[in-house]
Every structure is written in structure tokens, then in C-alpha cells.
């Protein structure tokens, strides 16, 4: 059984907060971050998750996620590779029925803000809000797994 994720990622070039319907803090690490396969552990609020992602084929990739007890997620975070992701995820509903996930990074990635949208197909149309910037889908340095190794503060 496999689940497919079709996602596009953009930089944020304007203020989205007035349109946000909610926000939550996320701390995550990677048990494995090899190209083509990542195993992520995440604490989001009072919930824990483990996620396996496969290689991207165009905009599509395999993704499997399971909620786990937050205490177990916190233990697994201690086993993760060096570098943690700390971010606030804002949910921004769009008039076309999609919801943008806008990640405002903290710590070593402070200043980086990206927006993601999940689609039903690679060809699906969507409304681009005024605050949306340049598309960075597929640019590895914007992957969370890459940001743990080469954080935004070190980009030149």
C-alpha cells in the first residue's frame, strides 16, 4: 500500500498572516536523510508522527505517515541525525479550496519562509496568492532534510 504526495513549494514574498486560519510549532529530525529516502520524526503541538518519504518522480513522491505517542516521538528525536528543524506552520486557506502550509523557520534557518500546496494531480491548477514568491519545488537546498545539514544562516 503506497500513498502519493503531489506537492509544490514556493518562497514567500509578502505578508500572509492576516489570511492564516491557525498555526502550530513543529520540531522535527531525521532518522535517515539519504537522497531518495527519508525517515522523519516530528512533534507538532502535543502529537507525534513518523513519516517515510521515497524518491520524487516529477512532483510526485511516496509518503507514509503514522501518528505515534508524543513521548515516543520525543525519544526518537534524540536518535536523529544532527540538526533539528524548528518552525511554525501557518495554515492559509485559499478561495479555490486548497490550504497553503506556510513554514516560518526558527533557529539556524531563521528568515526562511516557504509555502507548500498539495495537489490532486501534477497538472492541477491553483490560485496563487499575492504573497507567493518564486517556485523552489525540487530545489534540494529547500528540503527540510537538507536544511538540517546546511541551514539557511550558512547560505551565501
**Alpha-carbon span 5 to 9, nearest angstrom:** 13
Mean pLDDT score of the chain = 95
Model pLDDT, residue 57:
84
Tally Cβ neighbours within 10 Å of residue 155.
11
pLDDT band at 3 (very low <50, low <70, confident <90, very high): confident
Model pLDDT, residue 4:
87
53-86 residue pLDDT tens: 998 888 888 999 999 999 999 999 999 999 999 9
pLDDT for 2 beyond 60: no
6-26 residue pLDDT tens: 999 999 999 999 999 999 999
Model pLDDT, residue 1:
43
Q: For residues 132-156, give the mean pLDDT.
A: 95
pLDDT for 123 beyond 60: yes
Domain region containing 93: 4-154
CB distance 41 to 22 below 8 Å: no
State the total domains in the chain. 1
Q: What is the dihedral of CA 80, 83, 88, 94, to 10 degrees?
A: -80
- The DSSP line for 1-43 is ---EEEEEEEEE-S--GGG--EEEEEEEEEEEEETTEEEEEEE
Q: For residues 93-104, give the mean pLDDT.
A: 96
CATH number at residue 100: 2.40.320.10
**Alpha-carbon span 52 to 33, nearest angstrom:** 10
21-61 residue pLDDT tens: 999 999 999 999 988 899 999 999 999 999 999 988 888 88
**Alpha-carbon span 71 to 60, nearest angstrom:** 31
pLDDT for 140 beyond 60: yes
Core vs surface per residue 89-101: b (16+ CB within 10 A) or e: bbebeeeeeeebe
Q: For residues 102-116, give the mean pLDDT.
A: 98
Amino acid at each position: 500500500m503506497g500513498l502519493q504526495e503531489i506537492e509544490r513549494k514556493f518562497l514567500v514574498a509578502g505578508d500572509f498572516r492576516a489570511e492564516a486560519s491557525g498555526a502550530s510549532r513543529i520540531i522535527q529530525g531525521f532518522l535517515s536523510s539519504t537522497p531518495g529516502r527519508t525517515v522523519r520524526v516530528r512533534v507538532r503541538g502535543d502529537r507525534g508522527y513518523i513519516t517515510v518519504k521515497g524518491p520524487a518522480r516529477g512532483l510526485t513522491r511516496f509518503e507514509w505517515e503514522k501518528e505515534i505517542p508524543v513521548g515516543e516521538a520525543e525519544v526518537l528525536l534524540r536518535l536523529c541525525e544532527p540538526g533539528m528543524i524548528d518552525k511554525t506552520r501557518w495554515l492559509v486557506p485559499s478561495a479555490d479550496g486548497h490550504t497553503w502550509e506556510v513554514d516560518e523557520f526558527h533557529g539556524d534557518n531563521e528568515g526562511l519562509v516557504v509555502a507548500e500546496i498539495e495537489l490532486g494531480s501534477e497538472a492541477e491548477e491553483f490560485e496563487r496568492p499575492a504573497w507567493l514568491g518564486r517556485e523552489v519545488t525540487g530545489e534540494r537546498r529547500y528540503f527540510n532534510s537538507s536544511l538540517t545539514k546546511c541551514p539557511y544562516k550558512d547560505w551565501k
